[in-house]
């Protein structure tokens, strides 16, 4: 096991290296479910046609933006990530598909300069697994800080299924097959092997759900496709 796998510097460099192929591999690692999950995890958030401030934390390449724009067509969308290369990819997507209307922010979410009590909606897809317990506590505190009173949030993460047969198949797929795909795309399977290590250590979003509850956020746990993804949603 990589000793510093939760170090922000390690995670940042990892995703910088994967930026050119991450969107494709993320789709593959979820058996194509990632697109559906990105829509489903927004379901608990009340739909609004008003001009609302929304932020996508750990935005990566902006893979969640299309789902956000469909549900919240009038949202002022901001997107945060600390990976320079991911932000570059996201900028290209913003220019090509969103008329440069997405506000891109390159910051570490755990040490950010976002305004307090500002956002109506905070979302985050497939970034939780790279945080240890202490970092999740900081993330929960920051989510509470930047949300308006009554503001809503939703998080989702690829998880380790509880069903033993499904868990074994998923472990083999993410741990063995996906690194081979990573080698074909990058010439190096190490980066994508780390995705399973993070998922295996993360298990599911139950601990994160309790952490978000502990800082005073109303929080509900969710499971998707027999636990292959889990998450939580709620409000301040």
Tens digits of residue pLDDT in 113-157: 999 999 999 999 999 999 999 999 999 999 999 999 999 999 999
CATH number for the region 8-235 comes to 3.40.50.150
* pLDDT for 1: 45
Q: Which of 49-58, 115-124, 136-145, 169-178 has the lowest mean pLDDT?
A: 169-178
DSSP string, 19-42: TTTHHHHHHHHTTTHHHHHHHHTT
Residue 185 is predicted with a pLDDT of 62
User: Does 235 score more than 80 pLDDT?
Assistant: yes
pTM exceeds cut of 0.95: no
CA separation for the pair 216, 34 (Å, rounded): 29
CA dist., res. 190 & res. 113, Å (int): 33
Instruction: Count Cα neighbours of 123 within 13 Å in the Cβ-side half-sphere.
Output: 31
- SS3 sequence, 125-190? ECCHHHCCHHHHHHHHHHHHHHEEEEEEEEEEEECCCCCHHHHHHHHHHHHHHHHHHHHHHHCCCH
CA distance 200 to 173: 12
What's the chain's average pLDDT?
90
Percent of the chain with pLDDT over 70: 88
State residue 199 phi and psi, 5-degree precision: -60, -45
**Domain boundaries in the chain?**
8-235
């Amino acid at each position: 096991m990589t000793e510093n796998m939760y170090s922000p510097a390690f995670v940042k460099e990892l995703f910088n290296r994967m930026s050119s192929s991450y969107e494709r591999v993320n789709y593959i690692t979820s058996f194509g479910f990632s697109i559906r999950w990105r829509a489903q995890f927004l379901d608990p958030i009340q739909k609004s046609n008003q001009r609302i401030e929304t932020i996508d934390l750990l935005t990566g390449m902006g893979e969640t933006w299309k789902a956000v724009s469909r549900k919240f067509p009038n949202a002022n969308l901001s997107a945060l990530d600390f990976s320079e290369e991911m932000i570059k990819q996201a900028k290209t997507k913003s220019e090509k598909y969103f008329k440069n209307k997405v506000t891109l922010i390159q910051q570490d979410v755990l040490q950010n300069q976002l305004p307090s009590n500002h956002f109506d909606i905070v979302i985050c897809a497939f970034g939780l697994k790279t945080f240890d317990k202490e970092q999740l506590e900081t993330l929960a505190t920051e989510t509470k800080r930047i949300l308006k009173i009554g503001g809503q949030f939703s998080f989702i993460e690829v998880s380790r299924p509880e069903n033993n047969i499904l868990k074994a198949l998923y472990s083999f797929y993410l741990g063995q097959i996906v690194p081979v795909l990573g080698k074909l795309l990058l010439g190096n399977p190490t980066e994508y092997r780390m995705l399973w290590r993070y998922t295996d250590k993360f298990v599911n979003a139950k601990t994160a759900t309790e952490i978000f509850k502990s800082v005073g956020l109303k929080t509900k746990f969710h499971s998707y496709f027999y636990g292959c993804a889990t998450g939580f949603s709620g409000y301040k």
